[in-house]
Each structure stands twice: as C-alpha cells, then as structure tokens.
Structure 1
C-alpha cells in the first residue's frame, strides 16, 4: 500500500555560480549507442523493450511494496533461445536511455542509465571482492584506488544514515557500506563515497555515489550503472538542488530511435525548459514511501469519447512517470475500457499476437492506417494529445498499442507516450509541464 502526498514548495538558497547545464541522451538500441547491435532487427528491438518494460514494472512494484501479480515476460528469438534472463533490479539493463559521464581524477568515462524512477547514482567499481560476484561489462570499470578525488563516506555521517535499512555498517568510524536485496534474490554490496563527476562540460566535485564491488545475480554486459533523477537525497537532481544551488528543476525530451536529426536531451537548473508556447502543466505528486514522480490522471478520451479513471480516481497521484519503461501500463479495468473504445473507433479487425502477452491490441500494418488520437486528461485541466507516433509500436508487419494492462493499481506513463514532448519537472513549485513537439 502506498500513500500519495501533494509535493510541497521548497526554498533553496543559491550556493554556487553554476546555474544550469544540458546533456545528450542516447537510446541504448540506437546506432549512436556504444552497445548498438546491427544484427538485431526491428521486431527483436521491440521484444527487448517489452521485456525491459515488464521487468521494470515488477521492480517498481517491489520497491513500492505492491503485490506482484504480473509474471515476468519471457521472450525467445527465432532459434528458441531466451533473449534475456532475469536481471538485477538495480542494474542498468532495466532502462532505455543512456547518459555519458566521467568519474574520478583522472576521469574514467562511463555510460549509465538515465532513470527518473531511481534515487541513486551508482556504478560498478573494480576490483570486485570476488571475481565471480561482478557482472561482465564491455566498458571500463572505475577503480577508486586510481583516483585522487575519491573519498569514502563514514558510517556516522548523515549522508550514510539517509540510506536507512540498506546500511551495512559495523562501527561509526568505518566506511559506509550498503547491502541491497530485491525480490528476485539479486544482492548488491558496495561503498558509499564522494567523487568528482563530469557531465558534458560541467565538473561536479564531491558527488555522492554508490561504488559497487560485489553483485550476486544475472546481469547484462551492457550494464554499467544508473544516474537516478528521483527525489531521494542521493539522486543527481537532489544533489544539484541542495549542494550546487540549481534548484529542483530539470526537463527532458526523448526522441524516437528512428529520429536521426534530433538527439534526446536532459537539462538541469536554469537550462531546464518548464514552459513555452503551447505548454500545459499539472500538479506533481510524490509517493510516500518512495521518491517517485506521480501525477493525477482524471480521464482518457479517444476522438472526444471519454471515460473516467475508474481505479484510484479519487486519489491524487494515480499514474507514475517512468523513463525506463517503453510500454505504459494501466489497471486492467481501465485498459479494457480504452481498448474497447479504440476498437470501435478504428473499425478494423484486431489481430492477436501469440508471441507477446503485453502487445494485446494489434492490427495489420498498412501505410494509410490512421490510429485515433488518445487524450490524457490530468488534474488542473492539462490535456495531452497522444498521436500515433506516441502510441504505436511497429512490430514486424503489425502495429500494436504501446499500452498494456496490469492486474495491480500501479499505472505507468512510459517513455513511448512521453516521446517528442518536452517534459519539465519543477520540484520547488510542485508542477510537471508538457510541451509537445519541442525536442
């Protein structure tokens, strides 16, 4: 069970001349990604994204202490081999967009997942306590012993105590160590420390991060770490807000992988775009416990045919923003209403897919196919029109709705629905803004 509270206004004093900066984001399956695989076809890319979305949903449910009634999707390629095994909940494999940064002195380049649903900045470090307890990664690991700016955090510090039950300390003067365990029996041990980060051309000394050196689980070689932009005390946004005086402001625009002209971007502080011509906004809601970003979805309409959000309609914060899931998820009753209206509006015969449990509403691909506009109605009168490019996956010779049902009341607003829209988070004033077609 989780409780939603309206996020309060926060006053932050200016403590640094650094006012803001921007960075590119790279989709991990795009041709610009360091993990790009040219042998994977479009259908397999969609399958990977669907698996990550399903796994991501299970992970978020475990963090929010919700019952996990949705079994993880197991996908297979044409040879009958499993594409992915169960992966660690804290690992970078559970996300879509990568952020490049450097860590240490001298700097070591890292690629980590951009994740607004995480409140930690984390990377795998060398050397591992046991060689078999670290996952293989294709990029360089950060070695803290070779960095002159690495500073361990002690158990007695407030920064360590903010970890809560994850602390694994044996004495006040000892190093702050953490012990994370998840429902899939994945375990990660590491050390909390401060280090100099370089994001783009911006140098950020004294950043708090997790340096993990003992991981038990099954991981992907593309995993490196996570840059969390949640609202927890150790997230990148919170550290920029409290220590660098930038205020709780960030915005991002996620472009489709096929868009080679425009890159996805994330901006912080004064560079964040919170309003522009055509912008709409809605109140931001924060989960307790947890450090996640929610808004209130009041209704959905399809070509002006609407219905209320039946589950949780009287509660604030009934849908969660998530950059790590391509699929969006609605409670089953809500999804069934949406699907029923879409079928009536499209007036064509849906084609069920036996290969995917989550792609439930699919049609035969054709060039002149017109998919209805889906409108999300948020609290405060904000109405976001979602066009076909936001709501459809091209899967082989099919077009499938990028929204799936879930048996529990956690609704996710995934990155496919968010694409090609500038989304701004003004944590100080408790607002989320949308500016369509502004990438």
Structure 2
C-alpha cells in the first residue's frame, strides 16, 4: 500500500416509480458541475476566466476558515459552506417528496436546508421545505443520543433538539434536528429508492454569505451525521466514490455508495486515512510531489495527516514550504525562455503570459501546516473512500 498521495500540477488558460432500498444494493446518483449546462446554477454569461477567478477567491476563503483557531476548536458541522462547492446532488426529502439540489461536501457532516416557516432566512430561489406537509417528518427529542452528535445544541419548548452553527465568516444557521425520508433517483435501478428516518437539519434562522441558488448541503464527511455514515449499513459497507467531470461538461458523473468501484483499474493508488481532529475531514499523508521527475519532499516528520481531500474547495492549497519548492521546480522545468508574470492576477501566485492570456498554477500557498487537495486536482480520477478500511484510493478515469 502506498502511503503517499500524488496529484498533478494543473494549469488553466484565462480567456418516478419508487422502492425501498435493500441491503447490499448499491446506490448511484448523478453528480453535475455547477457550471455545467445541466446545472440550475448555470450562467452562460460567465466565461472560464470568471469562473476560475471566483473559484480561487472562494477556495482561499475556505482554506482560511479550515485552518482558523476557531474552526480547530469546534466540531465538523461548524464548517462554513459559503465557499461554494462545485458539485451538486439531487435528493428528495419527505413524503410526498420535495426535490432539493444541494452541494456534495466531503468537508462537512450535517445534511441541512432551509425550512418553512423560515423566520429569519437568506433569500432562496426555490420554495422552502415545509416539514408540516411531510407525513414522515419527526423532530428529534432532546434526550435522544443523536442530539449529542451536534457540537452546539439546546432543548426547545417542546423538548425538541435544536442546533446552532456559527461559521468562521460570521454566517449562522439555527434550526431543529429532524428525521425524515430521503429518496434518490438510483441510476443503477432506474427508479427512486427511499431511506427512512435520516437525520437532517431543518434551518429556520439562517443568515450570512449564502447563494440564493443553494438549497442546502449534503455532508459526506466522516462523523455520524453524514450521509455515508447514516446509509452505509444499508449496503453492508461504509464506502462511496465519485469521479468529477470538469467545468462546462455536458454530461453528469456519478457518486456511488456501497459498491466497489476500483476493481481491475489501472494505476490504482491507495493511501491510509489519518484520524485526527476534526474527525469529519479526510486527512491523508502527502510525502512528496514529482515535477518533471524531480521529487519535492514535504517537511520531515510532518507528513502524517498533513493534507485533507475536500470536494467543497476548488483550488488546492499547499503549506508555504512545499508550495515554494513546487513553484521553484515548475519555473526551472519550464525554462528561462519563459518568464513568469511579475504581477500575476490575484489571487494566483504563479502565471505565465501567453499571447494575451495567462496560464496560472491552480494551487495556492497557505501559511498553515495543513494543506488541502481541492476538486480541480480531482477531475478525471475515480476516488473511493472506504470508511471501514480507513483508506482512500485514486485511479485515472474518464468518469463513464
């Protein structure tokens, strides 16, 4: 087993029938990029350059929050989601089901969305979920042990479990922990499958830097409130995988639960998960990076759990020591005949001018010790998380 993670240096150019789920039956759900024509967020007036620059600033904002002291002192559900993860899932909540399009986020746990009557909520383009119209909706009593999965909770007047989340950017969400039926369009079976009594966050007071197109978050992290932790027993294994297609793709990829997706794949690399606080995050050990055959070593004795993989951050971020080595190696590899831009466009650190366009390194430096492997460097890889074996595996793929 390889104990290190490789990732490529990437440059860019600016310019319903239903059935209940059965044990050991895999679940496959469409994933689509927010800037794909398939996405309700699609903005045809935004060019690739606009998207990349916006994604870069959002990623830097998320990196700062992940590495902030306040975040390190809180549990995983306090992660700010303002930074706009790029990959979306469609779920159906309640009975009868209401469609919710939400961000697939490996950096958080709680599955939550705004609920009606929303007393103090940010503007949303779609109707709120109304729990009173769902015959399968149940508030979680405060004395239930599941209430203690939340980092910050209180008991309401009816002894219901209420949660409170405060984000590093000042955004907040307050609501009730509930259970309800969650359904998916299972592309394996070609029909809707239902999972009863899923723990969900019903937000009634939400404010901050949230988009009106974001109906919620689907937490895929490692703690008990995440989707994979709640439905993994249905398949006999807590395992999921995805393969990200790039910006502008006109086809959707898949996120798969409870199935083995790496069998007989070429160039497969498997690396252990490192358990460290906050336990939501999927920490790996980055030991070295290769640039044109030259190996760049991370700091000695600081490789254990020094990077985590995150679907909700677009750009990767490397701690400054390794980033500076990477930047130097790229400049040497490209050669003296091409000179880096003296003042690269913000927030990028290394760019080359090319006939009116800029080619920029899609990795940014961070002053903190923990690095992040973002979704841009995960494109065209089948990535499988096995929470039982505590591993993550990578294999090149065309995402079909």
TM-score for both structures, normalised by structure 2: 0.86
| Partner of residue 279, structure 1 | 268
Q: How many Å apart are 1:363 and its aligned residue?
A: 1.3
Q: Is the 8 A contact 2:111 2:227 kept in 1?
A: yes
Question: How many residues are paired up?
Answer: 367
Q: Name which of 161, 164, 167 aligns with 1:179.
A: 164
- Cα shift readout 1:21-66 (whole Å, capped 9, x = no counterpart): 1111111122111011111122111122112211211232248745
| Partner of residue 354, structure 2 | 365
| Partner of residue 428, structure 1 | 388
| Partner of residue 9, structure 2 | none
Q: How many Å apart are 1:232 and its aligned residue?
A: 0.9
Residues 89, 137 of structure 1: alpha-carbon distance in 2 compared, 3 angstrom cutoff: farther
Q: How many Å apart are 1:102 and its aligned residue?
A: 0.9
- Cα shift readout 1:211-245 (whole Å, capped 9, x = no counterpart): 10101323221121100110111100100124x24
| Partner of residue 375, structure 1 | none
Q: Is the 8 A contact 1:232 1:291 kept in 2?
A: yes
Where relative contact order (Cα < 8 A, 6+ residues apart) is larger, the structure is 2
- Cα shift readout 1:411-439 (whole Å, capped 9, x = no counterpart): 00011111100011111111111111241
| Partner of residue 216, structure 1 | 207
Q: Is the 8 A contact 1:363 1:400 kept in 2?
A: yes
| Partner of residue 339, structure 1 | 327
Q: How many Å apart are 1:123 and its aligned residue?
A: 0.9
Alignment of 1:188 with 2:173, yes or no, is yes
Question: 2: CA distance between counterparts of 1:365 and 1:109?
Answer: 45
| Partner of residue 373, structure 2 | 413
Question: 2: CA distance between counterparts of 1:428 and 1:234?
Answer: 16
| Partner of residue 183, structure 2 | 198
Alignment of 1:250 with 2:201, yes or no, is no
Residues 93, 185 of structure 1: alpha-carbon distance in 2 compared, 3 angstrom cutoff: closer
Q: Is the 8 A contact 1:420 1:438 kept in 2?
A: yes
Q: Is the 8 A contact 2:79 2:108 kept in 1?
A: no
Structure 2 regions of 5+ residues with no counterpart? 1-20, 186-191
Q: How many Å apart are 1:272 and its aligned residue?
A: 4.2
Query: Any idea what SS the aligned residue of 1:342 has?
Result: helix
- Cα shift readout 1:117-145 (whole Å, capped 9, x = no counterpart): 1111111111112xxx2011112211111
| Partner of residue 95, structure 1 | 85
Residues 28, 258 of structure 1: alpha-carbon distance in 2 compared, 3 angstrom cutoff: closer
Structure 1 regions of 5+ residues with no counterpart? 1-14, 68-87, 367-395
TM-score for both structures, normalised by structure 1: 0.79
